[in-house]
């Protein structure tokens, strides 16, 4: 029987257990895939820990993966057994060797994009596409601030923003991680633990601040990030590995700042069929054209708990994946 990682109650990594998974036949509009890779993301940790509610009846974690179509149900068009596919979004269940899910969720992989690249890029890549094309359509010459730039989302956003002609100021939590941000193409890398990073960011960005700031840290960082943005700029708040975000008073966004604050969700984005297909198509085109999304840490499926512990503790950079 195929194996999967299941959890029955919120808690630490120890709540995740290796289980046998019954093979289900695909129903109308469904396809079954034999997976080769699954992404591991902070949203998985949020659900495992109980910070985000777990959908009723779903015990297997994971929102993204890739593999080969193993069987298709009735009323499925555009797919056949043997197709290479990737996906991101609901329902949960990518921590598994095999799974059945809506065929509409599956994206056929073009030539030049393998399962390993696609399965580790769907969530982060669609997040980058959403941020740089939908939340704030980036223009050449603009200044972009990317927090946690050594991480999976930070690296792909930095690489993509540079391909769009933006200037990228990256922040990292340690000197050791700065090289990863520079390798991704950042023009300047600052330590977000330093006392003067906000002032230095504003100085570098024409002494006015950045046009767009992406905060994937959370906690008390968001309030500081607001101060690094120029008037009529935009801040996108993504996740909160540093802890809950204190309330933001509306006055913090008004004069003299006059900035916008967004809390975008890639899973909500992926639930819109049109946005999902359009975003995935753009992502695949970029991956074909050479957009790099390096894998920083790789674990076998049975070691998913170790992967969670390492990601949660900040011991990883770039993408984190499980292999089947």
Integer angstrom CA distances of residue 265 from 42, 63, 80, 200, 212: 13, 13, 31, 29, 17
Picking from 38, 78, 87, the residue whose alpha carbon sits closest to that of residue 273 is 87
Q: If you search the block for the tokens 């996108």, which residue do you land on?
A: 236
Give the model's pLDDT for residue 177.
94
**Tokens, residue 122:** 């769907």
Question: Which backbone phi and psi does 87 adopt, to 5 degrees?
Answer: -160, 165
Give the model's pLDDT for residue 240.
87
Banded pLDDT at 212 (limits 50, 70, 90): very high
Mean pLDDT for the stretch of residues 165-187: 96
Integer angstrom CA distances of residue 285 from 205, 280, 291: 30, 9, 9
pLDDT at 92 over 90: yes
Q: Would the pTM of this model clear 0.75, i.e. be above it?
A: yes
Handedness of CA 171, 176, 179, 184 (dihedral sign): negative
Give the model's pLDDT for residue 256.
85
Mean pLDDT for the stretch of residues 210-222: 95
Q: Write out pLDDT tens, residues 94-146.
A: 999 999 999 999 999 999 999 999 999 999 999 999 999 999 999 999 999 99
Burial state string for 1-11 with b = 16 or more CB within 10 A and e = fewer than 16: ebbbbbbeeee
Integer angstrom CA distances of residue 61 from 85, 119, 127: 19, 15, 19
pLDDT at 273 over 90: yes
Give the whole-number percent of the chain exceeding pLDDT 70: 100
Domains of the chain: residue spans and CATH:
3-123+271-323 (3.90.180.10), 136-263 (3.40.50.720)
pLDDT at 241 over 90: no
Those residues with Cβ within 8 angstroms of residue 247's Cβ, 6 or more apart along the chain or in another chain = none
Q: Sort strands 98-102 and 16-20 into parallel, antiparallel or unpaired.
A: unpaired
């Amino acid at each position: 029987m195929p194996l999967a990682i299941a959890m029955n109650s919120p808690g630490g990594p120890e709540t995740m257990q290796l289980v046998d998974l019954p093979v289900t036949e695909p129903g109308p509009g469904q396809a079954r895939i034999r997976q080769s890779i699954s992404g591991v993301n902070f949203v998985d940790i949020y659900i495992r820990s109980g910070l985000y509610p777990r959908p009723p009846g779903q015990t297997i974690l994971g929102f993204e993966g890739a593999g080969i179509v193993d069987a298709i149900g009735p009323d499925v068009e555009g797919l056949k057994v043997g197709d290479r596919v990737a996906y991101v979004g609901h329902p949960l269940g990518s921590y598994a060797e095999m799974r059945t899910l809506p065929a509409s969720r599956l994206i056929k992989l073009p030539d030049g994009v393998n399962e390993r690249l696609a399965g580790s890029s769907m969530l982060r890549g669609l997040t980058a596409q959403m941020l740089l094309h939908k939340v704030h359509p980036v223009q050449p010459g603009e200044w972009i601030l990317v927090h946690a730039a050594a991480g999976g989302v930070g690296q792909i956003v930095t690489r993509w923003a540079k391909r769009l002609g933006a200037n990228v100021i990256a922040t990292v939590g340690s000197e050791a991680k700065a090289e990863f941000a520079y390798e991704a193409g950042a023009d300047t890398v600052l330590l977000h633990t330093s006392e003067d990073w906000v002032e230095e960011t504003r100085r570098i960005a024409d002494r006015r601040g950045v046009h767009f700031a992406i905060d994937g840290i959370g906690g008390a960082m968001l309030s500081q990030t607001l101060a690094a943005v120029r008037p009529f700029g935009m801040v996108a708040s993504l996740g909160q590995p540093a802890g809950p975000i204190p309330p933001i008073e509306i006055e913090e966004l008004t004069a003299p700042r006059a900035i916008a604050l967004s809390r975008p969700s890639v899973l909500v984005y992926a639930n819109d069929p049109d946005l999902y297909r359009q975003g995935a198509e753009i992502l695949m085109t970029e991956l074909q054209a050479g957009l790099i999304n390096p894998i920083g840490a790789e674990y076998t499926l049975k070691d998913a708990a170790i992967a969670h512990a390492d990601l949660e503790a900040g011991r990883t950079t770039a993408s984190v994946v499980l292999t089947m």
